[in-house]
Amino acid sequence: MEIIGQEPSKELINVETFDDYLMMTSSQVHKNIYALQTIQTEFRKQRLHGFEKIYNIERKLRANSEPLRKRTVELIKKIPCFWGRIMNVADLNYNNLGDANAIRYLTEVIVEDMPLTICFLGDNKTPALSVLHRVRFIFQPNQLMKTTEAVKIISYKVCGWNNPEMEMLEPEVETEIPIVWMPGKDPRVSRPFKKRNRIEGIASQQQKVIPSFFHLFDDLKHEEEDGEYSQVIEKQKEEDRKMQFKILMGFVNEFVDQAISYFDESIPNRAHPEDYFDDLDGIEEDTDEEFLERMEEEEIPDHLQNPPDCNAQ
């Protein structure tokens, strides 16, 4: 096969594989390709280092914001159906009456960012950072649940590739603390009718799994399924794991830190920010002193001065 130097050619453009390309080019071209690969690896290392710095800054910010978080929780407890409305705005409402009854007891969602760990991707060659979040759901004591806290763990790997589809690789979801329901109170199961048991001659309820937000707390372990439909079951579990990961990342990135933006959809940083900034065109900004004077002159509405004191959502 003819060895081609660095001159462009139709044959090189139309070559099928990279190996074929190498066979048709000189050793100097090979060195240039290797140099580019080395630079790309260095770019990836720099991105990985940048991700580590930003992650640690955000983690420190969460720790320093603890007093604000506690105050937020106190206020949320006085706003009826706060988290229920957020679920609705975020399209996590399955029109399940059992969900509505249970979600009203949700008072707090805590995101804990764990320290990064150095690891490799599944190929055991590509360096990466492992990211892990604990998402804690705190409920008021109620007649539906035996437990008042449920914890999910989500993890993924970052390797520094500048590709949105490769930002969160090898995602995993785990249930650390499940919800334990009182008998007959599980919103994931409906009991629409009773059917007489022919053998025992007694009435038995027929349970049916229904759509529910609380499937988020199902523990979908990687276990081999047996039987005729094992592949179908495992495929469905994989889809459910992806959905759990997506929802939980919503709590990590948006629902907790921007909760009020979901509760009040008119707040600009979530709802149509471009319209908001268009409205600001031509408006002069206040100085700090002018802003404080204007705030002192404005009256606070009565319903905000004395919000209703609700024990449950």
The structural domains of the chain, with segments of one domain joined by +, span 65-275
Write out pLDDT tens, residues 263-311. 887 876 554 444 434 544 444 544 555 545 554 444 444 433 444 444 4
- Rounded to whole angstroms, what are the CA distances from 135 to 112, 180, 222? 6, 17, 20
What are the backbone dihedrals phi and psi of residue 83, each rounded to the nearest 5 degrees, phi first? -70, -30
State the number of CA atoms in the 13 A half-sphere of 166 facing the CB.
Answer: 12
Under 8 Å between Cβ of 208 and 189: yes
Rounded (10°) angle between helices 66-76 and 27-64: 60
* Helix, coil or strand: residue 71: helix
CA of 205: how far to CAs of 180, 184, 187, 190, in Å? Answer: 20, 10, 15, 10
Residue 203, classed as helix, strand or coil, is: strand
* Strands 106-113, 194-196: pairing kind: unpaired
Over the stretch 90-116, which tens digit does the pLDDT of each residue have? 888 777 888 989 999 999 999 999 999
CATH architecture for segment(s) 65-275: 2-Layer Sandwich (3.30)
C-alpha–C-alpha distance, residues 165 and 163, integer Å: 5
pLDDT at residue 6 in the model: 53
Three-class secondary structure of residue 39 per DSSP: helix
Backbone angles phi, psi at 110, to 5 degrees: -115, 130
How many whole angstroms separate alpha carbon 59 and alpha carbon 53?
10
pLDDT at 222: 64
Q: How far is CA 275 from CA 25, 97, 122, 124, 261, in A?
A: 55, 36, 44, 48, 16
Burial track 57-86 (b if 16+ CB lie within 10 A, e otherwise) = eeeeeeeeeeeebeebeeebbeeebbbbbb
Mean pLDDT by 10 residues, the chain (313 residues): 57 87 90 92 90 93 89 90 88 84 92 94 89 96 95 93 75 94 91 58 67 90 62 81 93 90 76 44 51 48 41 43
The candidate with the shortest Cα–Cα distance to 247, out of 271, 273, 272, 212, is 212
Smallest CA-to-CA distance from 76 within 301, 309, 249, 267 is with 309
pLDDT at position 195: 56
* pTM of full prediction above 0.75: no
Given a contact cutoff of 8 angstroms between Cβ atoms, the answer to whether 206 and 193 are in contact is yes
